[in-house]
Amino acid sequence: MMTNEKKILLFLVDDDELFLKSLIIDFADNTESVVQTFLTGEQCVENISQNPDVVILDYNLNSVDKNAINGLETLDRIKAINPLTPVIMLSSQDKIEVAVNCMKHQAFDYIVKSETAFVRLQKTITTIFHYQEIEKALSWYMEKM
Amino acid sequence: MTNDRRRMNNIRQSISQSNYHRHHKINTMETISSRRQESRYTRSLIEASRDPLFTINPEGKITDINNASVNITEVTRENLIGTDFFEYFTEPEKAREIYKQVFAEGFVADYPLTIRDGKLTEVLFNGSVYKDEFGKVLGVVVVARDITDHRIVEKELMKAKKRAESATRIAEKAKNKAEFATQIAEEAVKSKQQFLSNMSHEIRTPMNAIIGFTKVLLKTDLNAKQKEYLNAIKISGDALTVLINDILDLAKVDAGKMIFEQVPFKMAASILAMIHLFETKIQEKNLLLKKEYDNNIPNVLVGDPVRLHQIILNLVSNAVKFTIKGEITVSVRLLNEDKDSVTIEFSVTDTGIGIPGDRLEHIFENFQQASSETARLYGGTGLGLAIAKQLIESQGGTITAKSKLGAGSTFSFILPFQKTDAEVELITETKELNAVVENIKVLVVEDIRLNQLLMKTLLDDFRFEHEIAADGKIAIEKLQNKSYDIILMDLHMPVMDGFEATEYIRNKMHSQIPIIALTADVTTADLEKCKSVGMNDYISKPLDERILFSKIADLLKKSMPVQDICLPADRSEYVDLTYLKKRTKANPELMREMILLYLKQTPSLISQMKQATYDKDWDSVYSAVHKMIPSFSIMGIHKDFEDMAKKVQEYSSTQKHLDEVQELVLKLDNVCSKACEELEEKLKLIKRPK
């Protein structure tokens, strides 16, 4: 009667391996999601055809490799390929202009890397799915009309 | 001289006059020709209109018309001109009134009338007066817009709208009906599950005692007959337990409650350990066992090894069961490999009795065997293949069977696995029983006397020290007075149950002592609850002593090195692994990986930051320090130092207080080097095998 729900595909993009690993550990306990990690924005964009349900993207992606594309550019490229892919931005800097910038480039939310980042991420992901459900229901009704 | 001048003037004047005349003449000619053109142009505009246009004089007689009027009235132009305008409408009085209104007000707009033609064309009447250059009214220009098409479209639209509305209503009704049906179905599934879960609980509890005490009895001095009878009880008990577990598994898969793990494991070792279990049985039956393993399969893969075991166990045990002579081949082949994943085909081939062609398609259905005699001759419930199929398909794989009656069968299944970094070696192989675990103090929390006694005998066998507490409250009292290595906790007890007790131990006593839940009921939400209150693992009753031992050994191995590093942690000045321990659930493997990563990336970030400060390359300082900031809290480095790093970030991005950056960078360098030293020490402690 009930079908097995499809697992959620998460993309984590961060060139800070330590923080990346800590997120992997956090998500590892969550059996509903499959996590794929990338150290650069380029790798993430190359794999975007897998249609991740949520992308978690670091704002500063070129601190190790100066020539790598940064978070915003990665965000733009993702949005250019699929504008509906929800992207949550991460940054260790709590700055209004960073936040505003992220929003301008169509990020779903902006989260500061801290002890509570993971909890916020989880909450944001829940919110994203909540929105998507509402939108789906809405479009169903619109179609019926 | 003066005459000459006068003459000259006269000539000049006459030339300019003649010029004037010539110009004037040309202008007049141009005006006439352009007027003609304008009139033709106007006429063509009027004729182009698809709406009838009339001009009417003050007496109501038609003075001019366009072609559209001829077409609609079906009267020739000659016959129309000079006739009474009002006669062409079904209500001439109304038309006359409108006409008067045009004269009175100068215009009228969108007045509905019907033309008296063959079809009674409905029109909207628009008119305005026209005047001569002195303002005298000469007549009225009238446009009668044909709105027949408009009316048709309007009607169609209304119809379509009505149809759409009724379709929506039908859809709504169907949806409600479907929702209602789904609700009933869901409730049915729920109650079925509840029933199975209750039943399993009721059966498992006494089974636990029966099997457990049979095992205990078997270890006492017995004569041959007694031993034979007891073995018979044990075998029947084991078979019954397998059946109950099968039914529960199937119910779980059916209800979509089966959760598949995604953990890294060693494929080759896992398969070998699995086949190993059958070796005695295969030798007993004098069969040959062949193993074919494709060495191109990556060493470590991510998937659910427990479920993989279960599938292979089902297939191999079938093969062994139905083969009297010959051989059994287990082969594992790499079918496909890409960047992230592999597809592997597992097949089990036997030279057994085979399956008739017409039964082959039903072989994967619940409670189906190749023939109704099969059960009588070979035993089994007919659930094994159904479970295997469900387990495979829920993981996105497929299973197929080929067979020839009397010659043997081949069961193959294909499953995808994720690839992983070779470094990530979380080994989840079957634990070896002979691991040395000594001087273990176990606290058993269990209210049922029978189970207490059984636990006591099992733990005696393991040579573990143990104490019994009859409920959660007693357990907590005992914990406060004495230290234990591990707790085995029943879930349902009087006074204080296992969940409450665990919550108290974790949150009030802040103890991370390993707790294993003992439960007879694994289908309900209990398991989730076990995890959420902070239990480390669970064992389902009836207890399998080997599983109990390996779970205890496993948990103690995990927690011991961590307990060891607790002491030096207090001596550390810079790092504090409490947070990391919490994040990794005290998993030594994960802690090791995290610390290694820190040790790998921090020194290069520090040197980048130092060099960039020296070069006054503030962007580079910014990006290095920016990347370092999250690591402070992960490694428990003091907030003051994190704030220092944040200051460097702030100053280098705003390019202010740059004179302070140098000093801060030096301080950070010092702190991080010390932290790295301390972490190297801790790493040794975690690494040390216990």
Please report the DSSP string for B522-551 in residue order: -SSTHHHHHHHHT--EEEESSPPHHHHHHH
What pLDDT, on a 0 to 100 scale, did the predictor assign at position B204?
Answer: 75
A38-to-A43, A47, B102, B174, B581 alpha-carbon distances in Å: 6, 9, 79, 46, 25
What pLDDT, on a 0 to 100 scale, did the predictor assign at position A87?
Answer: 93
* 8 Å CB contact of B594 and A22: yes
What pLDDT, on a 0 to 100 scale, did the predictor assign at position B590?
Answer: 81
Which of B456, B464, B446 minimizes the C-alpha distance to B205?
Answer: B446
Least confident of A36-50, A83-97, B237-251, B598-612: B237-251
Structure tokens at B552: 């205890």
Residue A10: alpha-carbon gap to chain centroid: 7
A-to-B residue pairs, Cβ atoms closer than 8 angstroms: 82
Residue A100: alpha-carbon gap to chain centroid: 17
Nearest by CB to residue B256, choosing from A3, A62, A145, is A3
| Cα–Cα distance for residue pair B489/A123, rounded to 1 Å | 32
* 8 Å CB contact of B630 and A145: no
> Taking a C-beta distance cutoff of 8 angstroms, is the pair B642, B629 a contact?
yes
Check CB contact of A6 with chain B, cutoff 8 Å: no
Closest-CA residue of A relative to B653 is A93
What pLDDT, on a 0 to 100 scale, did the predictor assign at position B378?
Answer: 56
User: Best residue in B261, B577, B629 to probe A by mutation, most A CBs within 10 Å?
Assistant: B629
Sequential DSSP letters for B468-533:
EESSHHHHHHHHHHS--SEEEEESS-SSS-HHHHHHIIIIIS-----EEEEES--SSTHHHHHHHH
Sequential DSSP letters for B433-473:
TT----S-EEEEE---HHHHHHHHHHHHHHT-EEEEESSHH
| Cα–Cα distance for residue pair B563/B690, rounded to 1 Å | 11
Check CB contact of A1 with chain B, cutoff 8 Å: yes
Check CB contact of B178 with chain A, cutoff 8 Å: no
Nearest by CB to residue B583, choosing from A22, A34, A92, is A22
Residues of B in contact with A93 (CB under 8 A): 626, 649, 653
What pLDDT, on a 0 to 100 scale, did the predictor assign at position B412?
Answer: 93
Check CB contact of B258 with chain A, cutoff 8 Å: yes
Q: How many CB atoms lie within 10 A of CB B629?
A: 22
Whether the complex's predicted ipTM surpasses the cut of 0.85: no
Which of A124, A121, A128, A127 minimizes the C-alpha distance to A26?
Answer: A121
A112-to-A95, A120, A123, B580 alpha-carbon distances in Å: 9, 9, 14, 19
Sequential DSSP letters for B265-325:
EEHHHHHHHHHHTTHHHHHHTT-EEEEEE-TTS-SEEEE-HHHHHHHHHHHHHHHHHH-SS
A residues 72-101 closer than 8 Å to B (CB): 92-93
Residue B549's identity, in one-letter code, is: F
> Residues with Cβ < 8 Å from B191, sequence gap 6 or more?
none
From edge to edge, which strands make up the β-sheet containing A54-58? A33-38, A8-13, A54-58, A87-91, A109-112
Identify the three-state secondary structure at position B371: coil
Looking at residue B381, the DSSP 8-state letter turns out to be -
What pLDDT, on a 0 to 100 scale, did the predictor assign at position B562?
Answer: 38
Identify the three-state secondary structure at position B213: helix
| Cα–Cα distance for residue pair A123/B75, rounded to 1 Å | 79
Closest-CA residue of A relative to B608 is A64
Q: How many CB atoms lie within 10 A of CB B100?
A: 12
Residue B302: alpha-carbon gap to chain centroid: 18
Closest-CA residue of A relative to B181 is A1
Phi, psi of B609 (to 5 degrees): -65, -40
Q: What are the DSSP E strand ranges found in B115-239?
A: 122-131, 137-146
> Taking a C-beta distance cutoff of 8 angstroms, is the pair A134, A98 a contact?
no
B238-to-A75, B195, B233, B282 alpha-carbon distances in Å: 57, 22, 9, 19
* 8 Å CB contact of A144 and B189: no
* 8 Å CB contact of A2 and B262: no
CA dihedral B545, B305, A121, A132 (to 10 degrees): -120
In chain B, the N- to C-terminal Cα span, in Å, equals 140
Structure tokens at B660: 């302070």
| Cα–Cα distance for residue pair A38/A60, rounded to 1 Å | 13
Nearest by CB to residue B594, choosing from A21, A29, A62, is A21
> Taking a C-beta distance cutoff of 8 angstroms, is the pair A17, B598 a contact?
no
Check CB contact of A62 with chain B, cutoff 8 Å: yes
Nearest by CB to residue A18, choosing from B172, B259, B598, is B598
| Cα–Cα distance for residue pair B493/B495, rounded to 1 Å | 7
User: Best residue in B627, B637, B651 to probe A by mutation, most A CBs within 10 Å?
Assistant: B627
Identify the three-state secondary structure at position B332: strand
Residue B3: alpha-carbon gap to chain centroid: 113
Looking at residue B370, the DSSP 8-state letter turns out to be S
Closest-CA residue of A relative to B393 is A4
User: Best residue in A63, A97, A118, A143 to probe B by mutation, most B CBs within 10 Å?
Assistant: A63
What pLDDT, on a 0 to 100 scale, did the predictor assign at position B674?
Answer: 87
Provide the angle, in degrees to the nearest 10, between the axes of the packed helices B658-687 and B639-654: 140
Phi, psi of B356 (to 5 degrees): -60, 145
Smallest CA–CA distance, residue B154 to chain A, in Å, is 19
> Taking a C-beta distance cutoff of 8 angstroms, is the pair B513, B487 a contact?
yes
Q: What is the mean pLDDT of chain A?
A: 84
Phi, psi of A71 (to 5 degrees): -60, -45
Structure tokens at B315: 């297939």
Q: How many CB atoms lie within 10 A of CB B125?
A: 21
B residues 223-252 closer than 8 Å to A (CB): none
What pLDDT, on a 0 to 100 scale, did the predictor assign at position B18?
Answer: 55
* 8 Å CB contact of B262 and A34: yes
What pLDDT, on a 0 to 100 scale, did the predictor assign at position B436?
Answer: 45
| Cα–Cα distance for residue pair B258/A1, rounded to 1 Å | 14
Smallest CA–CA distance, residue A42 to chain B, in Å, is 16
Sequential DSSP letters for B13-48:
HHHHHHHHHHHHHHHHHHHHHHHHHHHHHHHHHHHH
Which of A63, A56, A68 minimizes the C-alpha distance to A102?
Answer: A56
Nearest by CB to residue A21, choosing from B172, B597, B623, is B597
Nearest by CB to residue B624, choosing from A17, A25, A63, is A63
Structure tokens at B112: 């509905």
Residues of chain B with pLDDT under 70: 1-32, 117-119, 193, 197, 201, 251-257, 366-382, 422-438, 520-526, 542, 557-572, 687-690
Check CB contact of A106 with chain B, cutoff 8 Å: no
Q: How many CB atoms lie within 10 A of CB B50?
A: 11
Pairing of strands A54-58, A8-13: parallel
B674-to-B306, B593, B669 alpha-carbon distances in Å: 43, 19, 9
Smallest CA–CA distance, residue A94 to chain B, in Å, is 10
User: Best residue in B186, B626, B634 to probe A by mutation, most A CBs within 10 Å?
Assistant: B626
Judged on CB neighbours under 10 Å (0-12, 13-18, 19+), B375 is middle
Structure tokens at A110: 């902006």
Residues of B in contact with A142 (CB under 8 A): none
Check CB contact of A33 with chain B, cutoff 8 Å: no
* 8 Å CB contact of A63 and B261: no
B287-to-B35, B281, B290, B316, B501 alpha-carbon distances in Å: 115, 9, 10, 13, 52
Identify the three-state secondary structure at position B419: strand
Check CB contact of A34 with chain B, cutoff 8 Å: yes
Closest-CA residue of B relative to A60 is B623
* Angle value at C-alpha B102, between B97 and B104, nearest 5 degrees: 90
Which of B450, B417, B434 minimizes the C-alpha distance to B302?
Answer: B417
> Taking a C-beta distance cutoff of 8 angstroms, is the pair B127, B145 a contact?
no
* 8 Å CB contact of A2 and B394: no
Check CB contact of B617 with chain A, cutoff 8 Å: no
> Taking a C-beta distance cutoff of 8 angstroms, is the pair B397, B343 a contact?
no
